[in-house]
Amino acid sequence: MRKLDKESVVPLYYQLKEILQTMVDDDDLAPGDSIPSERDICERFGISRMTASKAVSALVHEGVLYRERGRGTFVASPKPTCTSSCLTGFSDNIRAAGLEAWTRILAFGEEEASRTIREVLDLSPQEATVFNILRLRYVEGEPFSLENAWVPRCRFPGLSRDLLEGRSLYDLMRTDFSMRLSHARQTIEPVLCSDFEAGQLDLDPGTPVLLFRRVAYAEPQVAVEYSKCIYRGKRFKYEIAFGI
């Protein structure tokens, strides 16, 4: 096991954090294992309780470890990884990671699109009606993400809640509406969750989360969906593949 370098410019808590991370990476500490107590860590490395606590807290904040009141601190299971190398839906991404996923539709209705949504979806004033779909996603039985999607009614006549129930929206677009999905543009930003989002995702209001905004397109260049999706940061890891 690496030792702490007390002459280094790197803070001791950060060195300790990396040592504990390496133990997790090398399976010296497996998911579900209890980590050594802060007292044991202090004695092993000759550091203060504050330094040990800061290192452990940093890994808790990153989702590598988790605390249970009255029991201790444990190694968390690896975060699911979603890859953006192709345009696939939530369920396909999560199942590709070997995890169980399901979706609950919270709301499905029609509304007049705002100016921003009309512009994003390239809709004329006569085509401004959109389906607004709010869905809560679960992974391994836990709330995982909250997605609000807007789909042009003019491009998907007959789309309904019953038709979407239990199905992937992208698969539905392909099979029932013969859309050839081609690509998407997506942004990712950190935000603080609202009271409603926190209630759905089992978080405290104001918890940092990741907001994904996506516009999906079908050939040749038809915008078919605009979505905003809030992800629980501690339960999610996103992978982007680049070609050269």
At 3, the pLDDT band (50, 70, 90 cuts) reads confident
Of 64-78, 160-174, 209-223, 227-241, minimum mean pLDDT range:
227-241
Task: Give the residue, 236 or 128, on which the prediction is more confident.
Answer: 128
- Whole-number pLDDT of residue 46: 92
Q: Is the pLDDT of residue 83 over 60?
A: no
- Whole-number pLDDT of residue 84: 53
CATH 3.40.1410.10 given to domain 81-239: yes
Domain 12-75, what architecture? Answer: Orthogonal Bundle (1.10)
- Whole-number pLDDT of residue 158: 92
* Angle, vertex CA 78, rays to CA 216 and CA 243, nearest 5: 45
At 93, the pLDDT band (50, 70, 90 cuts) reads low
Summary mean pLDDT of the chain:
87
pLDDT above 70 coverage of the chain, percent: 86
In this prediction, residues 180-185 reach a mean pLDDT of: 91
Q: pLDDT per residue over 191-206, tens digit each?
A: 888 899 999 999 888 8
Task: Give the residue, 1 or 168, on which the prediction is more confident.
Answer: 168
- Whole-number pLDDT of residue 148: 93
**Domain extents in the chain:** 12-75, 81-239
Q: pLDDT per residue over 32-42, tens digit each?
A: 999 999 999 99
At 80, the pLDDT band (50, 70, 90 cuts) reads low
Q: Is the pLDDT of residue 85 over 60?
A: no
Q: Is the pLDDT of residue 159 over 60?
A: yes
In this prediction, residues 131-146 reach a mean pLDDT of: 91
Q: Is the pTM of this model over 0.75?
A: no
Task: Give the residue, 225 or 140, on which the prediction is more confident.
Answer: 225
- Whole-number pLDDT of residue 94: 66
In this prediction, residues 46-59 reach a mean pLDDT of: 93
Residues 31, 74: Cα–Cα separation, whole Å? 7
Q: Is 62 exposed, middle or buried (0-12, 13-18, 19+ CB in 10 A)?
A: middle
- Whole-number pLDDT of residue 89: 61
Q: Is the pLDDT of residue 207 over 90?
A: no
Whether 127 and 93 have beta carbons less than 8 Å apart is answered as no
